[in-house]
């Protein structure tokens, strides 16, 4: 029996976050340039998006490009932007056909203008889709997001729209780029790295973390389903004891 058949569809994580890691190493293992790994990594994205939609995952957020990635060699950054643009344009019809909404979070204004325009167009075209929301974290940094949220609350306090003593966690969450989606219950990172790399730091306070040695271009639906099965075997207590959950 495969992992898909082992999944309890009544206990699915509503939101899965993924750190796609290992494209460069995968390409090096093939004797190719790093861009070859990024191109093949797109195939994994397509497969995982379809797998999530197929079993009923409502939200999928993938760490597509971090603010730290701008420090990579300019040739690689340019190649990534070209891959991003071509993929968005090619996949928008498929997203619409599969009733998947495209969303994006991050410092989007820092992206090349062509990326911004094509991304906005794709988001507009898929805005009414309801089966699954695919969120791309682009030029994203959790510390940047948290800092921006703090600035917004500080401005509201300065404008006397809120009292500092009244600010609650929910008020802070409402300033984040993820305010319209639930926090992720499961985070998957590929390639054997065991860190979260400035990704959704506030949102992942109680997220179950799953790490796999598989490099991202080799990660497919069966790997996704294995991670979900592992997630469903865990006891999520949120500070309580086991007896309180029964």
Per the CB < 8 A criterion, the answer to whether 217 and 41 are in contact is yes
In the block, tokens 């968005």 appear at 88
d(CA 146, CA 139): 14
In the block, tokens 């009733």 appear at 99
Per the CB < 8 A criterion, the answer to whether 56 and 228 are in contact is no
Which distant-in-sequence residues (6+ apart) come within 8 Å of 200 by Cβ? 17, 61, 137, 142, 178, 183, 184, 187, 207
* Catalytic (active-site) positions: 21, 69
Strands 100-105 and 208-211 turn out to be: unpaired
Burial of residue 208 (CB within 10 Å: 0-12, 13-18, 19+) is middle
């Amino acid at each position: 029996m495969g992992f898909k058949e082992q999944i309890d569809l009544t206990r699915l994580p509503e939101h899965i976050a993924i750190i796609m890691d290992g494209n460069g190493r995968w390409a090096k293992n093939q004797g190719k340039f790093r861009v070859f790994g990024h191109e093949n990594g797109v195939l994994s994205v397509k497969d995982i998006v379809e797998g999530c939609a197929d079993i009923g995952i409502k939200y999928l957020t993938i760490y597509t490009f971090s603010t730290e990635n701008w420090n990579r060699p300019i040739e690689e950054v340019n190649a990534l932007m070209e891959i991003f643009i071509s993929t968005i344009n090619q996949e928008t019809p498929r997203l619409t056909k599969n009733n998947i909404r495209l969303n994006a979070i991050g410092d989007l204004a820092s992206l090349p203008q062509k990326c911004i325009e094509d991304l906005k167009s794709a988001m507009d075209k898929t805005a009414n889709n309801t089966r699954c929301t695919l969120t791309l974290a682009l030029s994203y940094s959790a510390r940047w997001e948290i800092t921006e949220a703090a600035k917004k609350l500080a401005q509201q306090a300065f404008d006397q729209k809120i009292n500092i003593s009244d600010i609650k966690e929910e008020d802070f969450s409402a300033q984040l780029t993820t305010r319209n989606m639930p926090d992720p219950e499961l985070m998957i990172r590929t390639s054997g790295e065991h860190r979260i790399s400035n990704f959704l730091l506030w949102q992942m306070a109680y997220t179950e973390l799953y790490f796999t040695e598989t490099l991202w271009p080799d990660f497919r639906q069966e790997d996704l389903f294995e991670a979900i099965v592992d997630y469903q075997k865990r006891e999520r207590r949120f500070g309580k004891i086991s007896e309180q959950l029964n």
